[in-house]
Amino acid sequence: MLMKTSTDTLAVDEQVPALQMPDAKTVLHANKVEKTYGNGTHALARMSLRIQRGDFVSLLGPSGCGKSTLLKMFAGLEEPSHGHIRWAGADTPAKSGLTSAMVFQEATLMPWATVAANVRLPLDLQKVPRVESDARVGKALAQVGLAKFGHAYPRELSGGMQMRTSIARALVTQPDVLLMDEPFGALDEFTRNRLDTDLRALWQSTGLTVVFVTHSIYEAVFLSSRVVMMAARPGRIVADVPLEETDRSEAYRLSPPFSEHCRTLSGLLMAASDTIDLH
Ligand SMILES: Nc1ncnc2c1ncn2[C@@H]1O[C@H](COP(=O)(O)OP(=O)(O)OP(=O)(O)O)[C@@H](O)[C@H]1O
């Protein structure tokens, strides 16, 4: 199996001249970023990571290793303390022309509004004309399997359906990059597997770039084209594992390559967790 350690990643990046043109495939580039929060927490040590167009990258690692911090920096919601994030080579998302949308663990739907109205919210805020927004809402609901539920209210939906609504609300903005922070972490295993299957199919049919934070090795191995393993205190990348199998049907979950990847990542996660300094 091909595997790159953090040392390799840094070594490659150190060789990149400061003004070199970005390669066309890189959509997100964390270039020697470091993050220390205002209270002094050193969340991320200097680290570099490139996400290529069409990647499905999972960030996996023990609690507190900085997965969400990195995701928020990709979303432009947190500034690095050192280094910089580049979006398709530009220093702001706006200049890059790239759009991203974020999905969180909580669906955070407006309880008083229908599913369709919830999904339409970002378009209403952008003042998109109703004829266009209705069409886009219809398409987004169909993409997540909720075509018939536009008139329902959140309280009438299961947890999985509420999360599908939240994903539709992200898709309706037609993002290039979908940033997902443990979106299925609160769901039961069966529902989570269904959503994983549907998300993988959605990714394959749309060519979206996805950055996905999870604690689940099984979920990361099922979904991803690449798993980035992080360790904590301070947060850093310890391995970068490509997963090349293209068949991610239910049979994949029972296949030898799936077990092999899970075993490898489990060993890496244990090693990453061992590095936590409890003093
Ligand atoms: N706004 C903040 N202010 C201060 N410290 C923060 C802030 N956000 C996160 N941290 C700290 O930074 C470190 C990394 O947090 P982060 O949430 O990025 O990790 P994580 O890997 O996503 O964790 P988890 O898996 O538990 O969600 C943790 O020690 C956390 O307590």
CB 40 less than 6 A from any atom of ligand 1: no
**Which atom of ligand 1 lies nearest, measured to the CA of 69?**
18
pLDDT of residue 14: 38
CB 63 less than 6 A from any atom of ligand 1: yes
Residue 278 C-alpha to ligand 1 middle, in angstroms?
Answer: 16
CB 264 less than 6 A from any atom of ligand 1: no
Which mutation among 60, 63, 69, 277 tests ligand 1's pocket best, with the greatest number of atoms within 8 A of CB? Answer: 69
DSSP string, the chain: ---EEHHHHHHHHHTS-TTPPPPTTEEEEEEEEEEE-TTS-EEEEEEEEEEETT-EEEEE-STTSSHHHHHHHHHTSS--SEEEEEETTBSSHHHHT--EEEE-SS----TTS-HHHHHHHHHHHTT--HHHHHHHHHHHHHHTT-GGGTT--GGGS-HHHHHHHHHHHHHTT--SEEEEESTTTTS-HHHHHHHHHHHHHHHHHH--EEEEEES-HHHHHHH-SEEEEEETTTBEEEEEEE------SHHHHTSHHHHHHHHHHHHHHHHHHHT----
Which mutation among 37, 77, 181 tests ligand 1's pocket best, with the greatest number of atoms within 8 A of CB? Answer: 37
> In this structure, which residue's CA is closest to atom 18 in ligand 1?
66
Residue 235 C-alpha to ligand 1 middle, in angstroms?
Answer: 9
CB 257 less than 6 A from any atom of ligand 1: no
Residue 110 C-alpha to ligand 1 middle, in angstroms?
Answer: 27
Query: ipTM higher than 0.90?
Result: yes
Residue 70 C-alpha to ligand 1 middle, in angstroms?
Answer: 10
Which part of the chain has CATH 3.40.50.300?
4-99+177-184+208-274
Dist. CA 70–CA 173, nearest whole Å? 22
Look up the CATH number of domain 4-99+177-184+208-274: 3.40.50.300
Mean pLDDT, 10 residues at a time, over the chain (279 residues)? 42 39 80 94 94 96 93 94 93 88 94 98 96 97 96 96 96 96 93 94 93 95 96 90 90 94 93 62
Give the orientation angle of helix 115-125 with respect to helix 130-143, to 10 degrees: 130
Beta-carbon contacts of residue 77 (< 8 Å; ≥ 6 apart):
102
CB 173 less than 6 A from any atom of ligand 1: no
Residue 68 C-alpha to ligand 1 middle, in angstroms?
Answer: 7
CB 227 less than 6 A from any atom of ligand 1: no
Dist. CA 180–CA 173, nearest whole Å? 15
What tokens were used for 132?
Answer: 């266009």
Dist. CA 245–CA 269, nearest whole Å? 21
